[in-house]
Amino acid sequence: MKNNNLNKNLKPVDDTKSSGNILKFVVIILFAVICLIMVFYKDKDFFNFFKTDNTNHQAEVQTDFAPYMRDFQKKIKSNWQPPKNNTSQTVVLLITIDKNGYVVRNVVKKSSENAEVDKAAIDAVKKSEPFDALPSFYNGNTVDIEFTFVYNILNAK
């Protein structure tokens, strides 16, 4: 009889609580491992399998227009002949260049409030055409350039 009383006091073990805790633990560990992989391989080709195509996207990243813009500025500067004035002037043009280096649009975005100065800026762009073709890494057909002409007069005494 003692054995019957002993069995009555025992409670069954609830395995669902412990397996739920183990599952939570495994999920947390997996999340931590994924985060570590992303940190250490963010600049590597490790995640290329997520891409939808196998093309090399290196050319899309290389968009350094600095050499192009230096030549662009140098060419315009050599053709800019602002009128003689006694005041400083600033003109901002919006210039659109096609892939072959030709001007598609050349308009005043911000006027100097002096028609002669504005015209001199527009003429400098016209005289500079054609520009170099757009860089080969650039995939677009045109590029918009906001170009500022600054005519400073320093008062010499």
Report yes or no on 21 lying in a domain: no
What are the Cα distances from residue 67, in Å, to 38, 124, 145? Answer: 35, 20, 14
Model pLDDT for residues 108-152, shown as the tens digit of each residue:
999 999 999 999 999 999 999 999 999 988 888 999 999 999 887
More confident residue, 71 or 18: 71
Report yes or no on 54 lying in a domain: no
Q: What's the CATH code of the domain at 141? A: 3.30.1150.10
Q: Which domain holds residue 111?
A: 64-151
More confident residue, 156 or 110: 110
Torsion on CA atoms 62, 64, 68, 70, rounded to nearest 10: -160
Report yes or no on 24 lying in a domain: no
pTM here? 0.57
Report yes or no on 88 lying in a domain: yes
The pLDDT score that the predictor gives to residue 5 is: 55
**Tokens 């800019």 belong to which residue?**
80
The pLDDT score that the predictor gives to residue 18 is: 61
Number of domains in the chain: 1
Model pLDDT for residues 39-67, shown as the tens digit of each residue:
555 555 544 544 444 444 444 445 678 88
